[in-house]
């Protein structure tokens, strides 16, 4: 079984990225052949800054390794190290109805958020389908915001198989974990860079904790009264970091009254900080070894190209390009 996922290098990784994609990806490393990549072509759809792209790719590589991606078990590479993905994207775009892309939520959201709608942003889901199909992927762990992209991928795979014969490409399944499908941000909406409501995985201690203490939304229930537990952003986040016993205690303390939100926020901030402590330590080790990341990505690219060459040869033959 082949498991594949990608993350865009578009700035600091946040807690939503971790629980939606990275943690499941790390856990799935043992379940099959894992292919994980840095979606640098995709990042260019919303920012065109070469120095920032180089820096963000490097940071993402370090962070994903620090979070437990094991390059002995998973193939880890940059998307652009296998430029053949663009050829498959082209082939897929010939069976992709314009109307399919016009329905894209992510495209509409990004345009609504002020990103200039270039062709690549519109065609983003086709390249994403190519990422997945180029490696005969069976399972794709992602957060819920990528569900529609996975549906489009399945549609395009189906259309290619209908047009050129069953087995031209493998139709993948999304893996979306119920409990972490949508990690909430400090304002209670989905955690997302475009909403400016993120908690970084690898920030500095004081400013990171301050985001919780200062920005996280609460209501105005007085200290002595019981606090609502439904739709509580503090509890939703605490659940991700705390043990079951600590979480149950926190719920009980909400219901009993007598604790203020400042107190709950401090507990949340400490749990969040402690959760990532082993990853922070691993990150320091990785940074201290200057050649490590480049060597990992180089080896990953070689492995990825071996696989992609096989799939692309099959597709080229099916469509009549040989």
Annotated binding site for L-tryptophan: 131
Q: Is 190 in the site for ligand TYM (CB under 6 A)?
A: yes
One residue of 145, 169, 264, 271 binding ligand TYM per CB under 6 A: 145
Residues 260, 227: Cα–Cα separation, whole Å:
9
Q: Which residue is nearest to ligand TYM (CB)?
A: 20
Q: How far apart are the first and last CA of the chain?
A: 29
Q: Is 126 in the site for ligand TYM (CB under 6 A)?
A: no
User: In the annotation, is 190 catalytic?
Assistant: yes
Stretch that binds ligand TYM, among 14-22, 162-170, 218-226, 293-301 (CB under 6 A): 14-22
User: In the annotation, is 265 catalytic?
Assistant: no
- Work out how close the CB of 86 gets to ligand TYM at its nearest, in angstroms, rounded to a whole number: 13
Alpha carbon of 265 to those of 14, 53, 186: distances in Å? 18, 34, 11
Radius of gyration for the alpha carbons in the chain, expressed in angstroms and rounded: 21
Q: Token digits for 244?
A: 């079951």
Strand partners, 173: 139
In sequence order, what are the residues at sequence separation of 6 or more whose Cβ sits closer than 8 angstroms to the Cβ of residue 170? 133, 136, 137, 138, 157
Q: Token digits for 247?
A: 């979480």
- Work out how close the CB of 177 gets to ligand TYM at its nearest, in angstroms, rounded to a whole number: 9
3 state DSSP class of 272: helix
Q: Which runs of E-coded beta strand occur in the chain?
A: 2-7, 33-38, 74-78, 139-141, 173-175
Spatial contact of 246 and 270, defined as CB atoms under 8 Å apart = no
Q: Is 146 in the site for ligand TYM (CB under 6 A)?
A: yes
Considering the complex, state which of residue 71 and residue 174 has its C-beta at the smaller distance from ligand TYM: 174
Q: Which candidate, 200, 293, 212, places its Cα nearest to that of 13? A: 200
One residue of 3, 16, 66, 297 binding ligand TYM per CB under 6 A: 16
- Work out how close the CB of 127 gets to ligand TYM at its nearest, in angstroms, rounded to a whole number: 7
- Residues 165-184 within binding reach of ligand TYM (CB under 6 A): 180, 182-183
One residue of 2, 3, 20, 201 binding ligand TYM per CB under 6 A: 20
Q: Is 39 in the site for ligand TYM (CB under 6 A)?
A: yes
Binding residues for ATP: 8-10, 16-17, 143-145, 183, 190-194
Q: Which residues are catalytic?
A: 110, 190, 193
Q: Point out which residues bind ligand TYM (CB under 6 A).
A: 5-8, 16-17, 20-21, 39, 42, 128, 131-132, 140, 142-143, 145-146, 149, 180, 182-183, 190-192
């Amino acid at each position: 079984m082949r498991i594949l996922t990608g993350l865009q290098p578009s700035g600091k990784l946040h807690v939503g990225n971790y629980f939606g994609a990275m943690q499941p990806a790390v856990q799935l490393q043992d379940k099959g052949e894992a292919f994980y990549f840095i979606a640098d072509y995709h990042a260019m759809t919303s920012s065109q800054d070469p120095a920032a792209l180089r820096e963000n790719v490097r940071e993402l590589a370090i962070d994903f390794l620090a979070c437990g991606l094991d390059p002995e078990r998973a193939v880890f590479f940059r998307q652009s190290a296998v430029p053949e993905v663009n050829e498959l994207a082209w082939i897929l775009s010939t069976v992709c109805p314009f109307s399919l892309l016009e329905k894209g939520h992510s495209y509409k959201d990004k345009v609504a958020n002020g990103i200039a709608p270039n062709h690549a942003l519109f065609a983003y889901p086709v390249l994403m389908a190519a990422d997945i199909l180029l490696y005969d992927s069976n399972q794709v762990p992602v957060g819920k915001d990528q569900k529609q992209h996975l549906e489009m991928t399945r549609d395009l795979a189906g259309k290619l198989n209908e047009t050129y014969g069953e087995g031209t490409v493998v139709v993948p399944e999304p893996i979306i974990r119920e409990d972490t499908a949508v990690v909430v941000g400090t304002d209670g909406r989905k955690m997302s860079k475009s909403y400016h409501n993120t908690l970084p995985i690898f920030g500095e201690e004081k400013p990171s904790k301050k985001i919780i203490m200062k920005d996280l939304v609460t209501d105005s229930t007085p200290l002595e009264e019981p606090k609502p537990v439904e739709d509580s952003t503090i509890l939703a986040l605490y659940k991700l970091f705390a043990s079951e016993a600590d979480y149950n205690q926190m719920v009980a303390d909400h219901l009993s009254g007598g604790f203020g939100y400042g107190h709950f926020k401090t507990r949340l901030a400490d749990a969040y900080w402690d959760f990532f402590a082993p990853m922070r330590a691993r990150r320091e080790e990785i940074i201290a070894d200057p050649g490590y990341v480049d060597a990992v990505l180089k080896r990953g690219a070689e492995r990825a190209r071996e696989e992609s060459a096989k799939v692309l040869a099959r597709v080229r033959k099916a469509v009549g390009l040989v």
